[in-house]
Structure 1
Amino acid sequence: MKAKRLSKAPRLDRLTTLPQTIIEVILCLLPIEEAARTSILSREWRYKWTTIPKLEFDESTFETSTKEITVKELRCKLFGAIHQVLLLRQAPILDFTLSIYTHHKCYEIDQIILHLSRNHNVKKITLDFWPKNSYPLPLSFFSLHHLTHLYLQYCDFDHEPTFNGFGNLTSLSLSRPSISRKSLLHLLSNCPSLKSFRLFIDYEEFYGHERPNIMELFKSLPVIEHLTTWGYIAPLFVIDSAPQELPTSLIHLKYFCFEQMGIVNRDGYSFGLTFLLVLLKCSPNLERIKLEVDTDEDFDKGTLKLEEYSVIFENYSDVWLEHLNELKIQHFRNFNPELELVKFILARSPNLKKVILITWINNKNEELELLNVLSHAARASRVEIVVENLWTESDSDDYEDV
């Protein structure tokens, strides 16, 4: 007897049967052009990509290795794709990213921002520009009142700060902005929910001759929890004689990151160290500190004016870090001011659990001597000290409980 041929079972499309929210998460992981190509899979997939809440456009992804195109052609291709995507949208845009090389005037970007401000309650915007001149933000940008996260690189705030602020903004990153003292303070003061702030700015990027001082900066950040900045701002914000009592306290600050911090300066004085100590003084609930020391490897230790550093530490001898549990210092060179800073924190942190020193020390005996010095330093708690060597490919496991 012949066996009956079984009918071919229909193929089960497990991906299509997933909930729409799961499909959107998957599509958000793809570049936007790849997500759009899923429309050819089937009739069910034709418009699924038009509802993803996150859009990311990167000029570099539009470059092609098979055909050389001019900058103008590349720009037309990019903005053509953006406008097409925006035209086909069938759901709100919550997260928008644009990475592009800009000129001083870029009206296409103005139109995109205007569209977002009128048609979508965007929560997160990233404008990552690489310009010869900073991109001037249009007035429509300040109508994005639903923003909770904002990242701006090389953007120009060249206008009077008259907007009412971003009441829902919790995270702000300003990298190399062109801005005046008045505009910066107005912006920060009108973000009452700001909990995370990252500021990278140079002296020449401030408009006019006025610079905000450290008191004004801290006063504008009443509920800040995470603060990241870099060493080049220290001379801008630290006045000649930093006050012992500041008009405000950063009672909510839990994490501070100081990149390219100049503890050791060629003139023997450190605005970076003063900025750090002032911040420690008014941050009683700080839990984690991360410092990236920026010191020239050819620096002559003999030029240090150690008495000036001693005076700085003495001025802040009443600092007490009750809640600090971790200190991490990158590019540690074991210069005296760096070592004194570690000892200063050890003696004033009763709940400190771990100190991580990532060093340029290329000498085992010097590493052991460093651990020995710290093991005999005054301390307020039992601390694990880890020394990791940047000269080796793998991190060193040398550590000592003290």
Structure 2
Amino acid sequence: MPVREAVRTCCLSRNWRFAWSSIPELVYDERSNSILEDTNGANLVENSVHMVEFVDKFLARHDGSIHKFVISDLEPCSEALNQWMEVLSRKGIEEMRITPHPLCRNKWKVPSTFCNLQSLREVEFEKCMIELPQVLKGFKLLKSLKLEWVTINEGNLTKLISGCPVLENLSLFGLMHDMNITINAPRLKELHMICWDFNHVSLRTPALVRACLSLSTNILTPCKSNMTDMFDRLPNLESLCLNGRLTRYLTYAYGAKLSGRFNHLEKLYLEINFACKKEAAVARQFFQHAPNLEELTVKEAFVAYATEPANWEQNIVFRHLKFLKIHYFENHKSVLMFVKFLLENAPVLEKIQFEHEVKDIEFNKILVQLKRASSKVEIVNAGIITPRG
């Protein structure tokens, strides 16, 4: 039940009078404030005032450990957080999530006492500013870190991540423009990163097995990129997702060639302009360097630049590919050429699934007549199964 209701159980029985004071979780959000019915944020300030009053009293009277601390859908108070984190540092806190209400415009500042929370294992901060001391103890037990719309400079971001030696899951959403991103995390297994723009990315993550990378800036002109070098240092990837403008960004990489191999890569997601010769070349490199690929998902990227017809060469054999999923697209001719390429070079393919129904009669007519290397492949167009004809 909500933490406020848990405290109110003290009125039900003498035996329950102090039971709430030892509960190991403090989760406070809009639902915890029974006096407020508005969920649209009109009473956000009043909500937040009541939250501060309640949490102050709760922590003052709490007896025991607090493993989980969550403030969400409200407006965090930086001054109060500083005091609370000082108390939580003595409570063995393991999980902390502070995610303000979507209507909050101002960013809250992470207090210096945050660095004293040495027992943390999971942290999620949203819409905040982070400044670290020159000497950082680090977080020796932290395994999961998520930062969303956070203001932090390059040096502090590098220091924070490298100060988490057992970090396994990292999510970075909405980072600042023109950053040099360095991620030094030898035990990192999963990475999610969505950026508006960046200058250079350095991943020292030899254990990484799942990565989802997105670039939101619309890349129209050539720019410097070290992305191919970065991928060559990720030999243990099992799942890779490249969306946004990242495939286009890779076309500008120095040399634009991958030298390493992804022998463990089984799942690949690409957003691509099917009609672009350069982007097709990037996709083919991933296909050539991932011999054990089993699942492939593609989506047509937003096209805002001149294109050249893609040339899907026929010299790549997908020996393990079983499943192809195609999301929304508009260029029917280019997609047909891509599907033809896959059908002719995937001998164990079992299913091609179109996530959005394609009603073009001519498209479907050509689709079912394409030659297939696999005798058991079926094509699913919005629930309509088309077996080999």
Q: TM-score, normalised by structure 2?
A: 0.68
Q: Compare 188-197 and 351-360 and name the one that shifted more.
A: 351-360
Partner of 1:107: 79
Deviations for 1:110-156, whole angstroms, at most 9, x for unmatched residues? 21122212x22111111112543322212211121222211111121
Give the 3 Å change call, closer, same or farther, for CA 334–232 of structure 1 in structure 2. Answer: closer
* Native 8 Å contact 1:137 1:157 kept in 2: yes
**More strand per residue:** 2
Q: Secondary structure at the match of 1:389?
A: coil
* Native 8 Å contact 1:197 1:227 kept in 2: no
* Native 8 Å contact 1:197 1:224 kept in 2: no
The number of residue pairs the alignment matches comes to 342
AA aligned opposite 2:26: L
1:211-290 mapped onto 2 (5 Å cutoff): 213-214=200-201, 216=202, 218-219=203-204, 221-232=205-216, 240-242=224-226, 245-246=229-230, 249-258=233-242, 261-262=244-245, 270-271=248-249, 284-290=263-269
Give the 3 Å change call, closer, same or farther, for CA 33–368 of structure 1 in structure 2. Answer: same
1:145-224 mapped onto 2 (5 Å cutoff): 145-160=118-133, 162-204=135-177, 213-214=200-201, 216=202, 218-219=203-204, 221-224=205-208
2:88 aligned with 1:116, yes or no?
yes
Q: Compare 194-203 and 178-187 and name the one that shifted more.
A: 194-203
Give the 3 Å change call, closer, same or farther, for CA 212–309 of structure 1 in structure 2. Answer: closer
Give the 3 Å change call, closer, same or farther, for CA 378–55 of structure 1 in structure 2. Answer: same
CA distance in 1, matches of 2:9, 2:324: 49
Partner of 2:328: 359
Pairing partner for 2:353 from 369, 372, 386: 386
* Native 8 Å contact 1:196 1:226 kept in 2: no
Give the 3 Å change call, closer, same or farther, for CA 192–287 of structure 1 in structure 2. Answer: farther
* Native 8 Å contact 2:272 2:298 kept in 1: no
Structure 1: segments with no counterpart, 5+ residues? 1-29, 265-269, 296-300
CA distance in 1, matches of 2:258, 2:105: 34
Pairing partner for 1:308 from 278, 283, 289: 278
**More helix per residue:** 1
Give the 3 Å change call, closer, same or farther, for CA 376–328 of structure 1 in structure 2. Answer: closer
Partner of 2:59: 86
Partner of 2:290: 321
Partner of 1:376: 343
1:5-44 mapped onto 2 (5 Å cutoff): 30-44=1-15
* Native 8 Å contact 2:71 2:98 kept in 1: yes
CA RMSD of aligned residues (A): 4.7
Deviations for 1:62-94, whole angstroms, at most 9, x for unmatched residues? 26149x996554332111111222223233111
* Native 8 Å contact 2:199 2:224 kept in 1: no
* Native 8 Å contact 1:196 1:227 kept in 2: no
CA distance in 2, matches of 1:285, 1:380: 20
AA aligned opposite 1:230: S
Give the 3 Å change call, closer, same or farther, for CA 35–183 of structure 1 in structure 2. Answer: same
How big is the shift at 1:224? 3.4
* Native 8 Å contact 1:128 1:152 kept in 2: yes
CA distance in 1, matches of 2:384, 2:337: 11
* Native 8 Å contact 1:388 1:398 kept in 2: no
How big is the shift at 1:255? 3.6
AA aligned opposite 1:92: S
* Native 8 Å contact 1:234 1:271 kept in 2: no
AA aligned opposite 2:249: F
CA distance in 2, matches of 1:135, 1:196: 24
Q: Compare 175-184 and 243-252 and name the one that shifted more.
A: 243-252
Q: Secondary structure at the match of 1:179?
A: coil
Identity %: 18
Q: Secondary structure at the match of 1:126?
A: strand
Partner of 1:136: 109
Q: Secondary structure at the match of 1:359?
A: coil
CA distance in 2, matches of 1:81, 1:205: 41
* Native 8 Å contact 2:232 2:259 kept in 1: no
